[in-house]
Amino acid sequence: MPARPKITVVGAGNVGASVAQYAVEKNLGDVVLVDVVEGIPQGKALDLAQAGPIHGYDARLVGSNGYDETADSDIVVITAGLARKPGMTRDDLLFKNAEIVGSVVDQVVARSRNAILILVTNPLDAMVQLAWKKSGFPPQRVVGMAGILDSARFRTFIAWELGVSVENVHAFVLGGHGDTMVPLPRYSTVAGIPITELLPPARIAELVKRTASGGAEIVGLLKSGSAYYAPAASTVEMVEAILRDKKKILPCAAYLDGQYGVRGLYVGVPVKLGRAGVEQVIEITLTPEEQAAFDRSAAAVRELVTTLKL
């Protein structure tokens, strides 16, 4: 039997621990959970291991405060960083999380030269750019999780609105993660029917608005903490697409080299995810309005990247 793939998750908070949980439940590989807080990754790994007999997974789970156990990882998911608190902008997080992500990437890359990096830490698009620069990896092996989460939120609201199964709903979201994201209603469908045929424009606009502030809505409800089930599920969809070489088309923060009129920047676009990472950026024709919204989104990402002097 070939060895199970090795997945490292850096950051054993709610998102990281949920990524580990979903990954072993899908039998995607062995998991190393890394966190700076002593006992937390070890305790959560042990707890998850003890759910194995019930859920039927034999994955090895290891918790660590260091990085030696992460050596030769196939995939490294980076969730480490400070979570957004109520009233805090994504940009407030920028410098603190840049410092955290930069040091994580240094540690990980030194031990796993062939890994694929998946970034989850906010502000997402800028953190992916930072990880790519720091790692020295080819851009197809560094990718960010955002569009799947935004699409999942949009899909949920569309399904509720129309009273249909979420499985029938496909949604399309481009651009940076956050207030400047660009949902594309004409590419968002229910059983193949564009939602523009099923809902009035005003109602679609309301769903789009709720999707864009989806994270903030949850932060406001939880009071202390932010979303983690859906972000973790979105991340694991990427992990699965890569490790199982599914060639799945998913919206991710990927490096653009001229596509959509953007060069040298990580922005959310549909990509084909397989064993090599981002195997193709899927370019679709945008209307002038959509292109303008995408350009605004890319400009907001570039501003953060410039602030970080990347």
Looking up residue 215, the CATH number of its domain turns out to be: 3.90.110.10
pLDDT at 77: 98
Residue where a domain stops, chosen among 111, 144, 177 = 144
Residues 163 and 293 in one domain: yes
Predicted confidence band of residue 93 (pLDDT cuts 50, 70, 90): confident
- End-to-end C-alpha distance for the chain, whole angstroms: 43
Residues 41 and 182 in one domain: no
Predicted confidence band of residue 89 (pLDDT cuts 50, 70, 90): confident
Residues 202 and 188 in one domain: yes
Grouping H, G, I as helix, E, B as strand and the rest as coil, residue 235 is: helix
Grouping H, G, I as helix, E, B as strand and the rest as coil, residue 174 is: strand
Residues 223 and 292 in one domain: yes
Residues 79 and 166 in one domain: no
What digits encode the pLDDT tens for the residues 229-240?
999 999 999 999
Cα four-point dihedral sign 232, 117, 69, 65: negative
Percent of the chain with pLDDT strictly greater than 90 = 91
Q: Is residue 213 part of a domain?
A: yes
Residues 173 and 116 in one domain: no
Residue where a domain stops, chosen among 144, 178, 203 = 144
**Tally of domains within the chain:** 2
Q: Which residues pair with 256 in a beta bridge?
A: 265
Q: Is residue 229 part of a domain?
A: yes
pLDDT at 90: 65
Residue where a domain stops, chosen among 103, 119, 144 = 144
Q: How far apart are CA 116 and CA 123, in angstroms?
A: 20
149: tokens are: 């989460």
Predicted confidence band of residue 172 (pLDDT cuts 50, 70, 90): confident
Number of H helices, E strands in the chain: 10, 14
Any idea which residues carry the catalytic annotation?
Answer: 177
Predicted confidence (pLDDT) at residue 92 exceeds the cutoff of 80: no
Q: How far apart are CA 310 and CA 210, in angstroms?
A: 32
Residues 202 and 214 in one domain: yes
What digits encode the pLDDT tens for the residues 221-262?
999 889 999 999 999 999 999 999 999 999 999 999 999 999
- Which range marks the domain in which residue 51 is found? 6-144
What digits encode the pLDDT tens for the residues 10-68?
999 999 999 999 999 999 999 999 999 999 999 999 999 999 999 999 999 999 999 99
Residues 139 and 191 in one domain: no
Residues 137 and 165 in one domain: no
Residues 119 and 189 in one domain: no
Q: Is residue 80 part of a domain?
A: yes
Q: Is residue 134 part of a domain?
A: yes
Q: How far apart are CA 211 and CA 215, in angstroms?
A: 8
Predicted confidence (pLDDT) at residue 273 exceeds the cutoff of 70: yes
Residues 110 and 123 in one domain: yes
